[in-house]
Amino acid sequence: MDLPVEFLDKYKNILGNEFEEFLKSFDREAVSGFRINPLKNLSSIESSDYEAISESSFGYYGKISGKSVEHVCGLIYSQEPAAQVVAESAGVQSGMKVLDLCAAPGGKSTHLLSFLGNEGLLVSNEISHKRSKILVENIERFGARNVVVLNESPKRLAKVFTQYFDAIILDAPCSGEGMFRKDSDAIQYWSPDYPQNCANLQREIVEEAMKMLAPGGSLIYSTCTWSEEENEDIVKWILENYPNMKLMNIPKINGQSEGIDMPEVVRCWPHHFLGEGQFVAKLNDRRDKVTDKKIKVGKSKLTNEQKKLWDEFYKKNLLTDFLSAGILQVFGDNLYFLPEGLPDLSKLKIARNGLHLGVFKKNRFEPSFALGLALRPEEVERTLEINEEQFRKYVAGETLTIGECISNGWVQLVINGNGLGFAKFVNGVVKNYFPKGLRFSY
């Protein structure tokens, strides 16, 4: 691999005797990995076919197909091993309020949702409008019910979420040195000044993140680069400017290394760790926790007609009461379920306002694809099990002719114990409701 001379000189000076092994690692193939989703029925996955990542809650080595049943239904998520270290180190627990500040494409957010387990709240934010669409797609496939996706700047978020979050994950925009092996295009963006330019932006983002951290909360700061300017120097800056913050030790496993003159943090060097490059630091706020204050919630009430249509659908098709622990909001003709405890989001750009339940149409309510992914089969009145051949036809946009004799109406399509969205069954035919933008052929 053709690496910049200035880059080579820099890391020869830092790594000393280890530099040659570090350099050889760039000629090896990038390491692939994935995670399993504990929110889904995983009975169809043969974990024995893959090597588990040691001391990882959900991680495995190996490549997965984006066209597989397991991927389309959200049972697995592709994420290389070093990137999995971020959420694994965060210590997020069920019931917490968590912010993933720079979230696209969704690897960290879906990982955090695995630890939250549909309890508490995740706000997943991505400033890029284009990348936020990918983030929404990945989160919907994962099937979580306690996540809101925003498309905002950190500065605007801080005005709404002042001292709000128990944990903030900031995987900051960086020079991307740790991705050189995986994405050679990243090399083209690098220059000797680039790490310092990134560090200037990182400090600005940290300043806004600190405004949103609740007393007693945790900031997890990470990058996918090895630059000291963007890593240890940023941590030192945080400790100097925020004396309430304490740097916590992250146990080193699987070949992870200590930082440069900073043993508490984690560095993933490719000649030690089976994965790409990553830096992770965890800092705890030492201020006393405060009792949750009352928060003004923006409500958008259903009209009488909308309430009637929703109630009719709910009573006829759903066997769950999870919707009682949240808020229903209408935006246009779309109905969403929001977790409790959110502030008024009306002044923010929203990419996905909680779980999309469906859309109101003339004299009827039409359930969303997202709802059919989020519900377990036992939570739905009428399900229809399909096989893999029928799955292939359905994701390609075809209707399905079914020999079974069931009454007309909405059904949740199910394969291997997991939902594939709702579809309309009419006189022996399953009409296709698989989103057009997601369709593919084999």
- The b/e string for 98-125 (b: 16+ C-beta within 10 A; e otherwise) is bbbbbbbbbbbbbbbbbbbebebbbbbb
d(CA 28, CA 397): 40
Q: What DSSP assignment string belongs to 267-289? A: EE-TTTSSS--EEEEEEEE-SPP
C-alpha closest to that of 421 among 377, 378, 370, 349: 370
Cα separations (Å) of 289 from 166, 243, 292? Answer: 10, 16, 9
Which residues have C-beta within 8 Å of that of residue 428, sequence separation ≥ 6? 401, 402, 403, 405
| Angle at the Cα of 238 from the Cα atoms of 233 and 240, rounded to 5 degrees | 95
Does 102 belong to an annotated binding site?
Answer: yes
Does 325 belong to an annotated binding site?
Answer: no
Cα separations (Å) of 262 from 10, 15, 29, 173, 370? Answer: 19, 15, 30, 22, 44
Does 33 belong to an annotated binding site?
Answer: no
Does 246 belong to an annotated binding site?
Answer: no
Residue 254 — φ and ψ, nearest 5°? 55, 30
Does 16 belong to an annotated binding site?
Answer: no
The answer to whether the beta carbons of residues 88 and 56 sit under 8 Å apart is yes
| Angle at the Cα of 433 from the Cα atoms of 431 and 434, rounded to 5 degrees | 125
Which residues have C-beta within 8 Å of that of residue 399, sequence separation ≥ 6? 429, 430, 431, 432
Options 73, 174, 198, 224, the catalytic residue = 224
Does 107 belong to an annotated binding site?
Answer: yes
Does 174 belong to an annotated binding site?
Answer: no
224 is catalytic: yes
Q: Which residues are annotated as a binding site for S-adenosyl-L-methionine?
A: 102-108, 126, 171
Give me the active site residues, please: 224
Annotated binding site: 102-108, 126, 171
